Structure 1
């Protein structure tokens, strides 16, 4: 249970960061946000060359597109490293601090420069069995951050560095290694990084007055505390955490939980863009306060420019997908994992960037026929319908 409750934090950051950027139109709010946000120098300059470990070049995309990695970290601290109060952890049913640094939510958000194209979020299940950057071999995706952090910390201690330096520099190394791993897996160049924790999720859902969700059936789960009726309802704070953390009782475990997270994020996006949230000064202030307490961004992110890029975005133009996966109980040295084929993942992402052109009516074949066939095969493997933020989807 210690990891479950953090799962959705990175998801919430998708829209939360958008809100933060939009509020940048007000100078005071923008200055307050940017002055108080925690940042880290985690984006390594793009050389345009294959990596040292032989990873292929990134997929082609429009130069002005923006790709963001959103991460929910299993952490019981705020964004400055200070422990969260015991009473808050108890309220969130988060358990005690464990010292673990596994990333339990990872979503790649792609925002096109062309406002006529869809923005999309791509979920990467935490147990995906992949090649970890930094020479660590094949392991679960959610260990990429922790492995590099622990390795770097050991090296720095051996060099006699003080505790503060060890923590700061090893954390940066962990974030960079996670980014490098996802760059290679998806074929996308990550432009920006956003990390959020328990405190942020709770306060963000409270600040917007709750998030609309919908369940196909009533649920009752003693592990997560989820106890909800079927149908549409609005959740915030602890109840929102319970909704997104449940995996027991769900047919596909973590994959179904990813689906819950996407539905929750779709509801949040819908609320942001459709319910006047962005025009309510009190709610904007609450959002900024929540974000500055719990979010870490990459150093140098120009939020004002990002706000301009988001100017024409609407909830109906935001879609959520999951990478294609195989067996969900793949036996590995790290225990049961989710099977992933990197070539299929990259093809899936390429088709999101440049959707295949369907055959003309009456035509037997098109130049993209093979590409369309591959997309159909990948979709069958993924067996997950995309979720659109223009409505409130019902999920299991």
Structure 2
């Protein structure tokens, strides 16, 4: 291979790495572009698929049977189960997956008549094609105790969802900006942490998950003052204003104009997973967690409804806490996408279509100008696109605020630069100039330094960056440090941000005087965790048609 010693390559191909006293002591000469046939070095141990004979979960598991999901008492002093974004994020992506399998939606006669729509996209013809040809969709997950029509969920529904009692505050648990490039291609979802401390139009600086509820509550007060008493109408009209304010907040933060809006409520994930017949998962060990209601055996099993919620919510009692929860989300997402796209789940004539139509009509809200049938037809033209996820860069996750408690620190200018790196056709913002545009990955040389003391870490990260098109310079060790940082040359912050985005988007980016032009140095600290950020990293959802059926469990992987 050009630019790489044969000895190093043969060692890698044989699966053997020569160890020396240092943790990551070897060097690479810079090479142009990604390596042909490069192999990604695993950055964390992945459990082998369950051995034959492992205890199987019942494929027809009844999500309402037995003690698997513990329903909290709705009276007295019982514990309230917190609603988390992990429940709704999968419902959002499920809805997107189903939308992207456009052929099937086109078959649904009268589907659009049952959808709940809201007038939330400002300016111009709401059905007009975006000027740049691309499409930016804001996907939002709500902790709402009402359905899409504004009707309150029954006590029985809340108990079935294991949702706990309402706390009087409506927040957006999940916020994802999905960019679909012009003429299709690779779509990307940009996740915005719910506690991001940002500027909210008309309300000052607060957590972004309150943008919706602040405008909603203001509107509720005004409508009631005008004498409106119909509760369902109050909900729908105030929710519309909440959505408008959230859209404005996201646009201000990212610099991206939102073309379409999709919102899913608490019922969404529950109903969609049941409609498709559940998703197969695999656990390394049996788990029982009273906080999430998770109570599962080891091995493969099929989950839907309430058990599926518990599976993606659990973090307590797991070896790696939130990291294991992220792994569960990724496996579940991959399984759902593959089941929907590659199997007969949505074959014409299947009763699954009716179930999905019912689930979406109850739980999904779209903007009024979105022609979903036309969108579905456009999506059928995608022949090889993937949907990958990134998370916006952020600072401390324990920022003290005057009114909102602990929040996630956000630099709006850095977010805009990051978004422009992830979405090349995003319009530049006033804070940026042409000089701030990043070079192409092939023009950026990246040195990777292992300051974490983890054997092979720098080598694995270098492989990841190389596969994304960056030129790789030196791969070596560095003095131990606690935090990970990406250093860039003077005036080349965009290059550093582009590299940070390739690593997941949550890495600190700093200018360093000793970095030559066109070069970036990555210092991997003890805090570096591959896949540390929810829904970041390599593409998870292959939405292209599959010639053969594939198992819903992602690569047969068992998780904690």
TM range (shorter): 0.7 to 0.9
- Unaligned stretches of 5+ residues in structure 2: 1-79, 425-437, 446-470, 474-487, 508-531, 543-553
Instruction: Give CA-to-partner distance per residue, 1:96-120, whole Å, 9 cap, x none.
Output: 34442111111112112233x3111
1:8 aligns with 2:87: yes
1:65 aligns with 2:134: yes
In structure 2, the residue matched to 1:334 is 404
- Out of 190, 196, 203, the residue aligned to residue 128 of structure 1 is 196
Q: Is the 8 A contact 1:102 1:142 kept in 2?
A: yes
- Out of 357, 362, 374, the residue aligned to residue 440 of structure 2 is 357
User: Aligned partners of 1:132 and 1:125: how far apart in 2?
Assistant: 15
* Counterparts of residues 242-253 of structure 1 (less than 5 Å): 242-248=310-316
The structural deviation recorded for 1:224 is 0.9
User: Aligned partners of 1:93 and 1:72: how far apart in 2?
Assistant: 17
1:100 aligns with 2:169: yes
Q: Is the 8 A contact 1:78 1:197 kept in 2?
A: yes
- Out of 110, 113, 119, the residue aligned to residue 35 of structure 1 is 113
Structure 1 residues 69 and 114: CA distance shift in structure 2, 3 A? same
1:150 aligns with 2:217: yes
Matched residue pairs, number? Answer: 377
Q: Is the 8 A contact 1:247 1:254 kept in 2?
A: yes
Q: Is the 8 A contact 1:8 1:261 kept in 2?
A: no
Q: Is the 8 A contact 2:254 2:419 kept in 1?
A: yes
Structure 1 residues 325 and 256: CA distance shift in structure 2, 3 A? farther
Structure 1 residues 353 and 154: CA distance shift in structure 2, 3 A? same
3-state DSSP of counterpart to 1:244: helix
Bigger Cα Rg: 2
Q: Is the 8 A contact 1:329 1:338 kept in 2?
A: yes
User: Aligned partners of 2:316 and 2:439: how far apart in 1?
Assistant: 37
Q: Is the 8 A contact 2:94 2:269 kept in 1?
A: no
Q: Is the 8 A contact 2:191 2:391 kept in 1?
A: yes
Instruction: Give CA-to-partner distance per residue, 1:172-230, whole Å, 9 cap, x none.
Output: 11111011111111222111111112222211101111124456776543211123456
3-state DSSP of counterpart to 1:297: strand
In structure 1, the residue matched to 2:265 is 197
In structure 1, the residue matched to 2:494 is 371
- Out of 312, 328, 345, the residue aligned to residue 415 of structure 2 is 345
Q: Is the 8 A contact 1:13 1:70 kept in 2?
A: yes
3-state DSSP of counterpart to 1:278: coil
In structure 2, the residue matched to 1:180 is 248
User: Aligned partners of 2:206 and 2:319: how far apart in 1?
Assistant: 24
Q: Is the 8 A contact 2:180 2:188 kept in 1?
A: yes
3-state DSSP of counterpart to 2:206: strand
The structural deviation recorded for 1:322 is 1.7
The structural deviation recorded for 1:22 is 3.4
Farther off after superposition, 286-295 or 353-362: 353-362
Give the helix-richer structure, 1 or 2.
Answer: 1
Instruction: Give CA-to-partner distance per residue, 1:15-55, whole Å, 9 cap, x none.
Output: 424525432322xx1x42111111111111269xxxxxxxx
Superposition CA RMSD, Å: 3.4
TM-score by length of 1: 0.82
The structural deviation recorded for 1:263 is 4.6
